[in-house]
Chain A
Amino acid sequence: AQKITQTQPGMFVQEKEAVTLDCTYDTSDPSYGLFWYKQPSSGEMIFLIYQGSYDQQNATEGRYSLNFQKARKSANLVISASQLGDSAMYFCAMREIQGGGADGLTFGKGTHLIIQP
């Protein structure tokens, strides 16, 4: 079973609208971290936001916020007031702290977001 599922392969959004990118995860580890990364067409991976499994409040970083619903195992990224420069691939990732497998980030397959003027 996939550990990270991003159900939206691609999205078109009008500039200035808010965007929600979906991410669900699967883990039995009580301690984990959830991350979102942005990959523009130039290829680099840019860290956006982090949510810890024990964090009581949803994480926010500027125009980015993470809608963390632990019981539903979802960690959706919300981008407010989208801009043309937000067009990119977006990856959700998880790191299990006590997991018995390989340590490191497990990534979803990504959502290709295109912001239209």
Chain B
Amino acid sequence: EAQVTQNPRYLITVTGKKLTVTCSQNMNHEYMSWYRQDPGLGLRQIYYSMNVEVTDKGDVPEGYKVSRKEKRNFPLILESPSPNQTSLYFCASSSGQVQPQHFGDGTRLSIL
């Protein structure tokens, strides 16, 4: 089954404790992206990747890092999480610019 898999689905942690949210897709998609969703703000792009070893900032990249060492994986790293990063995070992938993005089920992060 074609899918985008994010882990964990839920995480409660404390300020400053490094965490990684993994994202994996099995569709051989070149394009992958991370979004965060906050009430009243919709979804905003954090980082994206056009291909292996090619990443770039989205609209709200501060406080986040990503890497794309393999085509299927695109982890999101919070080196020193802060409470304002409490949010619902989505990973997405697509085969091209005009193709629909397939979303993972989301990761709900709470930073205390």
Which A residues have a C-beta under 8 Å from some C-beta of B? Answer: 33, 35, 37, 43-47, 50, 52, 91, 93, 95, 97, 102-110
Contacts and interface: CB of A to CB of B under 8 A. Distances in A.
B48 A104 contact: yes
Contacts of B106: 43-45
Contacts of B31: 103
Interface in B90-112: 90, 92, 97-98, 100-103, 105-106, 108
Contacts of B33: 104-105
B88 interface: yes
Contacts of B14: none
B22 interface: no
Contacts of B88: 43
Contacts, number: 64
11 contacts: A45-B106, A47-B101, A52-B98, A95-B97, A95-B98, A97-B98, A102-B45, A103-B56, A104-B33, A105-B92, A109-B41
Given A104-B33, A105-B35, 7 more contacts: A33-B98, A43-B108, A102-B56, A104-B48, A105-B45, A107-B35, A107-B44
